[in-house]
Structure 1
Amino acid sequence: MRLYSFSLWFFALVVGSVSARVSDSETFKNTFNLQEHLGSLSIYHEPYFAGLSSKFPESCEIRQLHILQRHGSRNPTAGDSITNAGYLAQVQDQLINGTFPINYTVPGNPFQFIKSWVPVINPSNADKLSSSGRLELFEMGREIFSRYNKLFDSDVYEINTAAQDRVVESATWYTYGMFGEEMANKTKYIYLAEDETAGANTLSGHKACNVYNEKKINQKKTKHVLSEWEEIFLSPIKTRLNPYFSDYNLTNDDVRSFFYLCAFEVALKDESDFCSLFTPSEVINFEYDYDLKFSFHTGPASEWSSIMGGAYIHNLAESLRSISNETNHQKTFFAFTHDTHIFAVETALGFFPDITHENPLPATFNPYTYSAKTSSFVPFAGNLITELFQCQDQKYYVRHLVNQQVFPLTDCGYGPSHSSDGMCELSAYLNSPVRVNSTNNGTNIFNAACEAQPTNVTVHY
């Protein structure tokens, strides 16, 4: 989808229809930002790292930029499973028609809002971006163009995007933010199928890996872990909310659906009364539920994480090497994708060293202080930015930003400041034991493990 015929008055109309996001739900105002703890359904926000400055380092010149960008906030996806639009639309109907027998006579019943509630999830809008999602991507494109303006000296810019509509539309709004109505002349889109035909060029991770999909790798283990944790964290909520219903016992799926209604209503209208049903600790446990799923799927608890993320890292490394060898003069690289793919790439980069296949996250309790938090790393519109600098010592240095916050690299030394600044000298970064297999052989490893066929599409990450 392109916006060639869209004019600025249309964008102004969309922006004008989007209300300002609330930073806290009413219940937790000034104490807990619930919307930043909804796993990968969280609103966009910067993670809480060590406070490293994201300013360009002194005496260094930015030479190359890589953007790995998730789509913006969206409607639920199509289908009838518990997180999908069809199922949640049924829950909405049941709340309205009384199938969920709410006892409004109970004092302090937190479901009182249902009396005047207007549902917003519509299956016909499944998979589509929300208005806030469109605005998020437009604003990010504008900010990126402003921050890295010196690198934008080409006539046409390649935009790599997973082919799913919401990802393509996100890329479109992003480039519209960068170039305005000139985007039609300044962009060349490369669409990557979300199946095995993409091979190692995938921007959809496991979907391009036949072996992973056919053997259903990690599915049984992930399902077992989530089932064990589900009973632990949802049972107390059921017990607490049951008295507000007449002759009805809530199920785990019921409680989960209330969480998802909270998250998707925030995505669609920036606030939700369903969020007020939960305490901060319950929300933190819902967040952990997401972190368990991602961790065992293609994250740090999976033996396949480096395989799924390694092909992207290999292409990234080749681009970093090429500019330092003066064999490639391309300065900006754009790739638009999904949360699962970004999380796999970050895992393969070594971002979550406290979690491994041998030492996974526990299913019986929430340890709280662990690295792989999907809320922080892959919220709606989340991104991984890789910057390459050339500094006064003539050496090249790499730095990662997660949602525009500098990630504290610790495995490959320091930048020219010789202090913890999030930078690593290029060769030390590429050859660190944490990622050397991916930087040197990520594509070959993916092809071998997945039995993938080489593709004719050349993608520049």
Structure 2
Amino acid sequence: MSLSFRWIVANVTILIFATLTLSVSSAPQSNQKVFSSFRFGEHPDWEPLRHSSGISPYHDAPGADIEPPQGCSVTAAAFLIRHSSIYANDDEWEEYMQPFVERVKDAKGAFPEDGPLGFLNDWESPINEDNLEKLTKPGIKDAEKFGKRFRKLYPHLLPPKKLGKKKGILDNLKVKVPFKVWTASSERDIGTAKAFIRGAFPKYQEGHGGEGDGKYISLVEVPNKDPNWSASLTPHKVCDRFTKEEGRKDAREYLRNWGPGPLAKLQALAPSFEFELKDVIAIQMLCGYESVIKGIGKSKFCNARIFDAKDYHDYEYFHDLIYHKMVGYASDVAPYLGVHWLNTSTHNLLSADEGEGDHPHRPYSAASKKDPHLPAPPGLPNSTHTQKLFAYFTHREEPPMALVALGLWNQTEVGPLPLDTRQKDRVWRTSHVLPFLGHVAIERIRCDDKQNYIRAIVNGAAQTLDHCKDGPGNSCPIAQFKAFVNQRMSMYGDIEGACKIEQ
């Protein structure tokens, strides 16, 4: 899906003894295409990768259009982004794909050559124990493209391209604090963040391989099991009460109810091969993973003659059940694990200057005195408030928990998700947030009325906050948003208590 928007040309104002200073020109420019990494066919309801939840290359959410409301411009933004495409998740490989792959190896010739599964007679798995959880080559390229799109979308929020360039007009600018990009400490997160930096910044700023040159750009690695809860990018990894198993139990129950139909289809396609119920999931997972390994349209597992649109809708629901219990509204700890990113990001957006100069160079404690309704987060990230765009790279669990903290896609208002049939009118749809590079973001916008507002973005689509939509384009007046975050922190701020941490 393509997005149209007007992006703002950045002009540079140099303050020799300050940090980076950017001014924003309001001159309209030509529309740009952003975010979508591949195009769907003429029948989007069938496209399997649209309904593959967390096993899909990046694609926009429905209704994607991040152009600010008329008369408004973005002055600050914070993004919580899942890492880019990997060869396979180790749990999904072990439970579903590997057993199927091993049995296929021992059954060469069992698949009719003229049928849609005939390719399995000579097929070799691109996934193995050595490349599990590693970034794919297309995934690295997608992350670089993602960085380039940020440069097009937010040029006025990033350091000028000429900073650090030899013989550049800005070569002598003294920068006290480099622009930071944050990442969780797993290799797939670090690799994604480095590729993002290579896409968003010129070579003379990106450093060796994307870790930043240290003067203008810096990549900050946050340990996965950082004991500082609200500074962590992966709080689920140190929460004693966080569990993946409850969602998996629900999904397995749904598979027992839904799976016999597509299982019978498989058996009819290759009568001499003994299919198992979990193979229904394995084949659909391989459609997604092969697509992010080999490229879009290159996986024969995605053949419509194997599974049709209904099968992929049910497969999507299978994943929605997993994540609803794991990181969604049916999880007791999800709001506690998501609200601290929201609080920290709101602090950063509130500290963005009212005009066109630098961020105030002050610690969080001073910002908290100005905004007493918000509990002060710890020193990281960006305790000095020296930038206006915040990119955080993390794992698949975190963006959905940020959704819960924001109160978006609240499934509890619709009803519980049944295990015997697919609920078609559900609002909890992880395919819209969880593809590789899927993200949740909040933007601060300033409009012609000289007022500031906040709006939420999920994979390129602006979201309406039910509790606050009185601003332009259903955005939220900043004072009301601050009050909302304060309320959420009072409800869910006690992450240690929620997780029953042993000191």
TM-score range, shorter chain: 0.7 to 0.9
Q: Does structure 1 residue 72 correspond to structure 2 residue 84?
A: yes
Contact 1:69-1:335 at 8 Å conserved across structures:
yes
Match of 1:348 in 2: 405
Match of 1:149 in 2: 155
The answer to which structure has the higher helix fraction is 1
2:158 and 2:455 map into 1 onto residues whose CA distance is 19
- Kindly state the Cα deviation for residue 303 of structure 1 after the two structures are TM-superposed: 2.4
Alignment of 1:81-92 (within 5 A): 81=91, 83-84=92-93, 88-89=97-98, 91-92=100-101
CA deviation map 1:368-399 (0-9, x unaligned): 22222111111111122221122233321011
Match of 2:285 in 1: 260
Match of 2:191 in 1: 169
- Aligned partner of 1:412 among 444, 447, 468: 468
- Aligned partner of 1:306 among 306, 324, 335: 335
Contact 2:251-2:321 at 8 Å conserved across structures:
yes
- Aligned partner of 1:388 among 436, 439, 444: 444
| SS of residue in 2 equivalent to 1:284 | helix
Aligned-pair identity in percent equals 21
Match of 2:498 in 1: 449
| SS of residue in 2 equivalent to 1:365 | coil
Contact 2:56-2:436 at 8 Å conserved across structures:
yes
Q: Does structure 1 residue 338 correspond to structure 2 residue 395?
A: yes
Gaps of at least 5 residues in structure 2 are: 1-36, 161-174, 208-212, 355-359, 361-366, 368-384
1:77 and 1:121 map into 2 onto residues whose CA distance is 10
- Aligned partner of 1:425 among 471, 477, 481: 477
- State the Cα RMSD in Å: 2.8
- Aligned partner of 2:349 among 308, 320, 328: 320
| SS of residue in 2 equivalent to 1:121 | coil
2:268 and 2:469 map into 1 onto residues whose CA distance is 57
Q: What one-letter code is carried by the residue in structure 2 that aligns with 1:204? A: T
Match of 1:6 in 2: none
CA deviation map 1:348-374 (0-9, x unaligned): 101112336x94211111112222211
1:383 and 1:289 map into 2 onto residues whose CA distance is 21
2:73 and 2:248 map into 1 onto residues whose CA distance is 47
After the TM superposition, list the runs of 4 or more consecutive aligned residues in structure 1 that deviate by more than 4 angstroms. 28-31, 324-329, 439-442, 451-454
More deviation, 39-48/253-262 = 253-262
- Aligned partner of 2:217 among 173, 187, 196: 187
Contact 2:110-2:272 at 8 Å conserved across structures:
no
* Alpha carbons of structure 1 residues 58 and 173: separation in structure 2 relative to 1, 3 Å: same
Gaps of at least 5 residues in structure 1 are: 1-19, 455-461
Query: How many correspondences in the alignment?
Result: 411
Alignment of 1:187-266 (within 5 A): 187-195=217-225, 197-210=227-240, 212-213=241-242, 216=243, 219=245, 221-246=246-271, 248-266=273-291
Match of 2:302 in 1: 275
CA deviation map 1:306-329 (0-9, x unaligned): 111111111112223333686545
CA deviation map 1:257-307 (0-9, x unaligned): 212211111111123111221111001100111111000112012222211
| SS of residue in 2 equivalent to 1:294 | helix
1:226 and 1:179 map into 2 onto residues whose CA distance is 42
| SS of residue in 1 equivalent to 2:412 | coil
- Kindly state the Cα deviation for residue 132 of structure 1 after the two structures are TM-superposed: 1.3
- Kindly state the Cα deviation for residue 187 of structure 1 after the two structures are TM-superposed: 2.2
More deviation, 322-331/251-260 = 322-331
* Alpha carbons of structure 1 residues 169 and 311: separation in structure 2 relative to 1, 3 Å: same
- Kindly state the Cα deviation for residue 85 of structure 1 after the two structures are TM-superposed: 6.5
Contact 2:182-2:221 at 8 Å conserved across structures:
yes
| SS of residue in 2 equivalent to 1:95 | helix
